[in-house]
Structure 1
């Protein structure tokens, strides 16, 4: 097997368990290099690091799959997926869950979401893409699913020399399905919805709003398919208005409200939330609860400051629409903005809005998206509820 030797000076993260090895950390490679092949990695003193797949076209030249000298074959992937499933079952995520969360499940660049008996997969690197047949075989063996679909229509694959694509990895099926979450039903568009069709990572956080929305007038911005807003109506809100810039998202959110017979409480409008919140604050509109769940504002370190400015501005505008003693529910899924920085940004927004805050809860993503200490990319979602009062 081809051997990769690291430089003497490398990041501590490799010794501490992180699976990424960057090209500038490699001293030399002994043996032939074929993109996607499995290689052994060694420290500078020739101590064994682990076994993973290589791609010289990628900035991350090797992604480690194991720290043991074990065979990487079809059975390896079957066992990893079975282990991940046992973990989800133990912590109570069975019906809908993120079955494989990349590095957190020792399967770098692999995402598998489970929606009832349907599975959506993303193989985001060349090395993982080469094992796609083994992954599909394992899913069929363990779950006997009704369908498997790939959502590899993501630009990050192009950094690995891969094309974007999507399609069936099983017999074709109707990709518009309905899932259950927290006693509610939601349409999921596996083929054309964002990411894998539905944001499972907020399923626990959506329950966290149940007490603050009772009898409340609620405003939600960046609603996408209306999940937070419909939960608010379900938990006893007096009125709920959801905003999203996408006409298609608003149409699907409305369908979800109708599916749950809550469309008499929750309404949706297709508008630019940034613009509308500013105008409504000037008009003096007030709500008991404002919920903000914007998309990631940046995916590059160069634009972190721009992202922080965006989060500060949208939260400032949201706070100005909240009645004294009301609540702000706010999220960030930008993994480059770590939790402490996110809280600092909310604090700056409160200062500028002349508000004082009292934290109700601060959470991460649902536990089927496990956080591994030392891997910042696994700790990406920040979910905050605060009471907002005038200074």
Structure 2
């Protein structure tokens, strides 16, 4: 089979050469040979040096997403099985696999594809045109590879309903791959039980990336009064409760999230100590401060305030504001956990923003630890987009 050849401009492809996975439209000198969007192409450097194979899409600024650095490697079922097998073996080594991310796109060398496992259910998100052709084959292979270890998958649901699909020229898709099944599944993480709705929950139904950050907070929250902001399904709040916090309040602007979190509290027998309220966190924190409320632990887990480099300046203002408000509610000697899930809010930028917030709130910070996303969301160096979650734990000391 002959493939179209994408040739880079001289001096371009720096990210690719450093180990990244993308070729952008403005890095390309020429494309020779016939192709259709989504098909496999060869990528050459400006001087003809072969750099590998990937799939092309002229609808996207990410013009080529690399599948392999071996220019002779056929992208067939055997190749996809190898990728799937490697991803599963890695998870078995690094994380609790009862519920985990099985495929993390570029970081697992399957660009544009996410697959999450919730006990015996898989949820698939495909955000790249070229991966559409391989999606169902990969699902089949995942089920086969897991079955070899005695893990039987009872159903697969697709949540390819993100707006990013439009950039690839793809329609949103939401529904079953294969036979329908009940889309609510109970999972256990860090000893906490949750009911996950893979059809209607955010993203693929649950945020698995904070698994070990939540576990780290169990030690901090024991015997403490805790405020969990942007609680979503109550994950940090419930980890605090199960660890022995004396009183936990979870805040979220979504009625649906609060109802789910409340049900999860009952599921764990924590409804007497872990209470959830529907509130706009930005408005509620000043109200609590005015009422004289103080907490041993304040947790800030906001949604991404920016999904583009252009919006970063406004995002910084949002992170600074919420950290100032959160810090004012922490008792002297108490703890603040604060994070960002935006790729564009770098570790250095978040640290600078929190430092400025502490200065404005007249607080001093002692760093307890810095953490990132769970290892089932591996960070591929040179593929910066795979590193997005930054998580700080501080002790907060009044200036005196």
Which range, TM-score by smaller chain? over 0.9
CA distance in 2, matches of 1:214, 1:264: 16
In structure 2, the residue matched to 1:126 is 129
- In structure 1, distance between residues paired with 2:135 and 2:209: 24
- How far off its partner does 1:74 sit? 2.0
Q: Work out whether 1:174 is the aligned partner of 2:176.
A: no
- How far apart, CA to CA, are the structure 1 residues paired with 2:14 and 2:41? 21
- 2:268 alignment partner in structure 1: 260
Give the structure 1 partner of residue 33 of structure 2.
31
Residue matched to 1:93: 96
CA distance in 1, matches of 2:354, 2:326: 11
Report what 2:65 is aligned to.
63
The unaligned stretches of length 5 or more in structure 1 are: none
Residue 246 of structure 1 is matched in structure 2 by: 254
Aligned residues: 391
Q: Which sits farther off after the overlay, 252-261 or 68-77?
A: 68-77
Secondary structure class of the residue paired with 1:129: helix
Contact 2:13–2:23, Cα closer than 8 Å, also in 1: no
Aligned pairs (5 A) from 1:315-334: 315-334=323-342
Residue 149 of structure 2 is matched in structure 1 by: none
- Helix, strand or coil: the match of 2:380? coil
Give per-residue Cα distances to partners, 1:299-342, cap 9 Å, x unaligned: 01111011111011001100000111110011110110111111
Runs of 4+ in 1 over 6 A off after TM superposition: none
1:83 corresponds to which residue? 86
1:388 maps to which of 382, 391, 396: 396
Displacement after TM superposition at 1:285 (Å): 1.2
SS in 1 for 2:277: strand
Distance 1:29 1:213 in 2: 57
Deviation at 1:361, TM superposition (A): 1.0
Q: CA deviation at 1:241?
A: 0.4
Trace 1:180-195 onto structure 2 (pairs within 5 A): 180-195=188-203
Q: Does 1:276 align with 2:284?
A: yes
Is 170-179 or 139-148 further displaced after alignment?
Answer: 139-148
Q: Which runs of 5+ in 2 are unaligned?
A: 147-151
Residue matched to 1:364 = 372
Could you say which residue in structure 1 is the equivalent of 2:11?
A: 9
How far residue 93 of structure 1 moved from its aligned partner, in angstroms, is 3.0
CA distance in 2, matches of 1:295, 1:54: 31
Which stretch shows the higher mean deviation, 45-54 or 11-20?
11-20
Aligned to 2:334, what secondary structure does the other structure show? strand
* Contact persistence 1:139–1:145 (CA under 8 A): no
C-alpha separation between the residues in 2 aligned to 1:339 and 1:195?
Answer: 23
Q: Which residue of 2 aligns with 1:106?
A: 109
Structure-2 residue corresponding to 1:138:
141
Note the C-alpha offset of 1:265.
Answer: 0.5
- In structure 1, the residue matched to 2:313 is 305
**Cα offsets for 1:30-75 (capped at 9, x unmatched):** 1012000000000011010110000111111100100002110122
Tell me if structure 1 keeps the 8 A contact 2:95–2:375: no
Match of 2:221 in 1: 213
Q: State the TM-score, normalized to the length of structure 2.
A: 0.96
SS in 1 for 2:218: coil
* Cα pair 2:229 2:300 within 8 Å, conserved: yes
Distance 2:393 2:339 in 1: 9
Residue of 22, 27, 32 corresponding to 1:20: 22
- Residues 58/238 of structure 1: CA separation in 2 closer, same or farther (3 Å cut): same
CA–CA separation in structure 2 for the residues paired with 1:93 and 1:28: 46
| Aligned twin of 1:347 | 355
Q: How large is the Cα RMSD of the aligned pairs?
A: 0.9
What is the rounded CA distance, in whole Å, between the counterparts of 1:117 and 1:368 in structure 2?
17
